[in-house]
Amino acid sequence: MAKRNLTLQLDEEVITSTKVIAVQRGTSVSAMVAQYLREIAQDAERYEYAKQQALELMANAEGHGGHINWSREDLYDRGERRHA
């Protein structure tokens, strides 16, 4: 895959501390940013895939859409019938 440059503007303190971390990890700031962005993109793709799978499973599920056999009064019975 072809690579392109990306310009970022960061606070000087962030740049300095990130350079130190990159050296400690034996990599570059560019490689760290690229890996982080790759992970974000993969997470978004996995989420969308899982969401589509779940929606398909729900749409094809059996046993949903049954008849409601309770009334509003049943749900909000506060004891009026119990004390009668």
User: What pLDDT was estimated at residue 56?
Assistant: 92
Reported as a pLDDT band with limits 50, 70 and 90, residue 20 is: very high
Mean residue pLDDT of the chain comes to: 89
User: What pLDDT was estimated at residue 66?
Assistant: 67
User: What pLDDT was estimated at residue 75?
Assistant: 82
- What lies within 8 Å, CB to CB, of 29 at 6+ separation is 15, 18, 19, 22
- What lies within 8 Å, CB to CB, of 33 at 6+ separation is 8
Range with the lowest mean pLDDT among 26-30, 38-42, 54-58, 75-79? 75-79
Which of 11, 10, 32 has the alpha carbon at shortest distance from 21? 32
Give Dmax (Cα) for the chain. 79
**Has residue 33 got a pLDDT over 90?**
yes
